[in-house]
Chains A and B, each alone.
Chain A
Amino acid sequence: MTTPEPRSRPHGGQAFWTVVVAGPAALSLLRLWIEAGGELQTTLLIVANVNTVNLFASMFLIGTRTVTMVLVVIFALGTLLGVSAADARTAGRPLRREPLFARWAAATPLWLLVATFVLAGATWQILYLPLLLPAFVMAFQTVPAYRGFDRAERLGVYAILLIGYYWLVRPVLSEDGFIVAMFAIPPLLASLAPGPVPVPVARVLARVGQPAVLALAVWSAVPVLTVPVLPLTVTTVSHDGGPQETVRGYVITSDDQLTAVLREEGGIRYLPNDDIEGRVLCPSAEQLPIYRVRVRDLHIEDSLLEAWGRRRRPAAPTDAACRTATTPDPAAALSSSDA
């Protein structure tokens, strides 16, 4: 009698793809709990009314920056660890096992690597784009096209690119220290970035770096979970010509008689359609930048895609209703006065 062969654990590559595909899908559903303010009934109302395709589309838009950030780090670190592991083997001091990221990076097809960097280049804030350069060199160091150049050719191309880069970002170099560091240091490090690293460093990276990156992935997913899934609106209502009321929130659904609005502070308001006088789309406070710095008139907290969009449609006036103080919810006002 033969014992059944144990089922093999999923290969590193399979696990990777499971995380990449299933992770965002699960997150996009879980974030509805947060969107609903933790209320079960509100969550169910949103689930019942938010189109699945729209939900995934908004998740893709909001999450691309974070997902590409995590992938870029995994590919860069993975390739570096892979090169370092090979180097350690050659030196007769092999690592105990091939690092997980190294296996993921090795299993990644070139087109995905290119697509990730292109997406990152288009969606990362301009402030963080310089970090892509050393990451690019680290991640592509094993690609045959990169290895086809000898060291002198690589340095020549690098020097030309560096001159062009500094001409481009020259106006920013007079800003405060952190901004200058972000724009000046990463490109300089790019030429030094390709591996391998010393074996002890590789061991530390494998043991500490990999879990740290996974922790970073979870930490960076938090903002994605809290970004609203629906557009913010301000609805002006007035009953029988009475005083106007402004309701700030997210329209969940509307039928012949009522419109359900998830209020910004929480809770659902059902507004009679006949009472609605107007509705405008409003920006939210999270969209405000924290720096005033621009590179060639592109704001450093915009991605290239956003900056492109702003140049195409430069005027984005804020409707007066968006500045209007929100009228307190009648029910909430009543309960607070009771107290």
Chain B
Amino acid sequence: MPRFRSAVSLTLLITLLIVAACENATHVPPPSVEDKMVEAGLRDPNRSPKLRIGVYTWQRTMGYTERGVNKGFDVEVARYIARNLGYEGDDKIDWVPLSSIADRMKVLEAKTVDMVVASFSINADRAKSIGFAGPYLLTEQSVLIPAALKGRIATIGDLKKPAYEVCTSTGSTSEALLNERRIPVTPLNSDRDCFKGLRDGTFQAMSSDRTVLAGFAAEYPRKFELPAIQLTTLGNPGIEELGIGVAKDNVALRELIDYFLYKSYRDQQAGRSTEWQRAYRQYLSHLGPASQPAPAQVPDLLDYDAKSPGR
């Protein structure tokens, strides 16, 4: 009997070894980062040697230029993504300036950029035409007024007064919120136009993302204020999710960006210092403490650190 037991045991072991060899040869692993690079067209020998990123060059704190150098929170996030895609340094990035909100959609649809990182809030309407990775930042809607009007414009009711004209950009979350609140509003093509009107006295208040307004205020210290007016309604929390725009059909690039955003998020959760945190401290610390949000769709990709602890 023990002889047969040994023989059966040996047979089973040999079978297991054969199964292991077959499994090893036929098992299909999840796609790797490199696979997605190829799929996203980043390995195409005919493509531009630079990564083309659409950014604002006029939005203080988020995306602006200073002495010819692109700066801002969005720009730092873009640099982080670019580096992870293999484009390290500004000489490997083609910064495509965007002058208006509408430009962001146009350049992606025309495929004149690979991605847009420009205070681009994720919404269902836009997601019909382009792809969104992220969010990489949550921001609320706020109001900017001249410092001279501090105290006089302090509530929703004050904004409704005929004496004050409020501006916002067309199609923005702020416009929807102001309409819900029945606040008369003048929509313009961009926040920049609204801010110009605020400076020359055409408007007495403007509404947009808090990050954007804080940037405008930083351009003219002590000239403008951000009063604590809550625009949010029960049905609309007014929280903007800022994402990175990519062409609708380049799903692989969207997945890569989400993957690298998730890596940064994961590092932050593990208590490691991240470039997101450094960028936030440098450009947005005046908005109060914040942490990177988790991306909405995290792809299952294999990378070289897949075996590292905690990954």
* A residues neighboring B (CB under 8 Å): 80, 87, 128, 131, 134, 178, 181-182, 185-186, 189, 192-198, 201, 205, 243-244, 283, 285, 287-292, 297, 299, 301-302, 306-307, 310-311, 314-318, 320-325, 328
Contacts and interface: CB of A to CB of B under 8 A. Distances in A.
Given A290-B24, A290-B27, A321-B88, 5 more contacts: A195-B6, A197-B3, A291-B29, A316-B305, A318-B305
A189 B12 contact: yes
B10 A325 contact: no
Interface in B8-33: 8-10, 12-13, 16-17, 19-20, 23-24, 27-30, 32-33
Interface of B: 2-10, 12-13, 16-17, 19-20, 23-24, 27-30, 32-34, 37, 42-43, 45, 49, 83-88, 91-92, 272, 300, 302-310
Contacts of B302: 288-289
B306 A288 contact: yes
B86 A80 contact: no
A198 B3 contact: yes
Contacts of A292: 30, 300, 306
Given A290-B27, A321-B86, A131 B308 contact: no
B51 to A, nearest CB: 11
Contacts of B2: 196
A197 B86 contact: no
Contacts of A87: 3
Given A285-B34, A288-B32, A324-B86, A318 B10 contact: no
30 contacts: A131-B16, A182-B16, A185-B16, A189-B12, A193-B6, A193-B10, A195-B6, A197-B10, A201-B7, A244-B92, A288-B29, A288-B303, A288-B304, A289-B302, A291-B29, A292-B30, A292-B300, A299-B307, A301-B307, A302-B307, A306-B307, A310-B307, A315-B308, A317-B305, A318-B304, A318-B305, A321-B88, A324-B86, A325-B42, A325-B45
Given A131-B13, A189-B13, A288-B29, A314 B86 contact: no
B308 A323 contact: no
B81 to A, nearest CB: 11
Contacts of B24: 290
Among A244, A297, A307, A325, max chain B CB count under 10 A is at A325
A310 B9 contact: no
B257 to A, nearest CB: 13
A328 B29 CA distance: 29
A196 B91 contact: no
Contacts of A325: 42-43, 45, 86
Contact of B86 (A194, A297, A301, A320): A320
Contact of B9 (A134, A314, A315): A134
B32 to A, nearest CB: 5
A80 B16 contact: no
A297 B310 contact: yes
B135 to A, nearest CB: 24
A320 B308 contact: no
A331 B86 CA distance: 24
- Sorted from nearest, which 4 A-B pairs have the closest CB atoms? A323-B86, A320-B88, A192-B9, A290-B29
A25 B122 CA distance: 61
A320 to B, nearest CB: 4
Contacts of B42: 325
B309 A314 contact: yes
A228 B307 CA distance: 21
A289 B306 contact: yes
B8 A182 contact: no
A310 B309 contact: yes
Contacts of B29: 288-291
A324 B87 CA distance: 7
Contacts of B23: 178
B6 A192 contact: yes
A311 B16 CA distance: 31
B13 A197 contact: no
Contacts of A201: 7, 10
Contacts of A316: 304-305, 308
Contact of B84 (A134, A197, A301, A323): A323
Contacts of A192: 5-6, 8-9
A189 B305 contact: no
A193 to B, nearest CB: 5
Q: Which of B10, B19, B302 has the most CB of A within 10 A?
A: B10
B310 A189 contact: no
Contacts of B305: 316-318
B96 to A, nearest CB: 20
A196 B6 contact: yes
Nearest to B29: A290
A302 B7 CA distance: 31
A131 B15 CA distance: 12
A243 B304 contact: no
A283 B34 CA distance: 12
A196 B3 contact: yes
A328 B45 contact: yes
Contacts of A197: 3, 6-7, 10
Contacts of B84: 320, 323
B91 A244 contact: yes
Nearest to B45: A328
Nearest to B12: A189
A320 B92 CA distance: 11
A197 B5 CA distance: 8
Nearest to A135: B13
Given A318-B304, A323-B84, A182 B10 contact: no
B19 A178 contact: yes
A320 B51 CA distance: 13
A130 B2 CA distance: 22
A297 B7 CA distance: 36
A315 B86 CA distance: 19
A182 B20 contact: yes
